[in-house]
């Protein structure tokens, strides 16, 4: 370690020691629980209102939102892929077989042998999700069987994500965190991938798909 880095390290550690000077050596962080009485959600909503808010925020993030029921899902997915001109579509191993029964596409299985270069050659990816957050318009994937590995939702240019409503919809991020397993590989998606430079010129498709279609599949109880 260089003399300069050693001196910087010594200064940081000295400040830490001064900050802890009046803390008993036996004391541990858990000895003083932090009150967490903050608000869980912003207002009370019916399940239908939460789904409507999710759709509104998804659109605000420039995602395309579609609604259907279980019976209409295969036809809608086939239509969305046809609109994009998709010919090769990557699918997670646990995606329900019937979802893409009506799609005239080549299905590419998500396997460990599938490289990033090969993923770049597919047109679209279709997945489910772990849940969706209404207040932020965010989809959360946790690499479940119908979602696959994180890379399949980051490399292809078009992502179709299916959300079962209202079962997979929560109102807020705090609620979402209570439902998720923190040790799983979580991917939080708020609209298509986009970034802006210092001139605020928006560029899409930099860190993930350029286009995001979200399909809200009703189970008949979102009232």
Residue 42 is predicted with a pLDDT of 85
CB 163 within 8 A of CB 195: no
Residue 57 is predicted with a pLDDT of 96
Residue 222 is predicted with a pLDDT of 43
Domains, the chain, ordered by start? 47-218 (3.40.50.10420)
Residue 199 is predicted with a pLDDT of 63
- Give the CA distances from residue 166 to residues 54, 108, 189, 220, in Å, rounded to whole numbers and listed in that order: 10, 30, 18, 9
- One digit per residue, the tens of pLDDT, for the chain of length 223 reads 678 889 899 999 999 999 988 888 888 888 888 887 878 888 889 999 999 999 999 999 999 999 999 999 999 999 999 999 999 999 999 999 899 998 999 999 999 999 989 999 999 999 999 999 999 999 999 999 999 999 999 999 999 999 999 999 999 999 999 999 999 999 999 987 666 666 666 666 566 789 999 999 997 554 4
Tens digits of residue pLDDT in 150-172: 999 999 999 999 999 999 999 99
Paired sense of beta strands 211-218 and 64-69, if any: parallel
* Residues whose CB falls within 8 Å of the CB of residue 109, separated by 6 or more in sequence, listed in order: 90, 91, 93
CA dist 200 and 165 (Å) reads: 35
Residue 223 is predicted with a pLDDT of 42
């Amino acid at each position: 370690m260089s003399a300069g880095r050693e001196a910087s390290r010594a200064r940081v550690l000295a400040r830490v020691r001064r900050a802890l000077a009046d803390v008993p050596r036996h004391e541990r962080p858990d000895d003083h629980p932090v009150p967490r009485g903050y608000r869980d959600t912003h207002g009370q909503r019916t399940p239908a209102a939460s789904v409507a808010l999710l759709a509104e925020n998804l659109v605000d993030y420039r995602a395309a939102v579609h609604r259907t029921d279980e019976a209409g899902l295969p036809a809608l997915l086939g239509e969305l892929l046809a609109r994009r001109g998709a010919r090769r579509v990557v699918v997670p191993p646990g995606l329900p077989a019937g979802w893409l029964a009506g799609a005239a596409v080549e299905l590419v299985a998500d396997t460990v042998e599938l490289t990033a270069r090969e993923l770049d050659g597919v047109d679209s990816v279709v997945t489910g999700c772990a849940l969706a957050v209404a207040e932020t318009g965010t989809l959360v994937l946790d690499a479940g069987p119908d979602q696959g590995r994180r890379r399949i939702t980051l490399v292809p240019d078009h992502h179709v994500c299916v959300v079962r409503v209202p079962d997979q919809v929560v109102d807020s991020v705090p609620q979402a965190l209570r439902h998720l397993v923190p040790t799983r590989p979580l991917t939080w998606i708020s609209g298509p991938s986009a970034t802006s430079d210092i001139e605020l010129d928006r560029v899409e498709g930099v860190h993930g798909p350029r286009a995001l279609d979200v399909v809200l599949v009703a189970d008949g109880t979102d009232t």
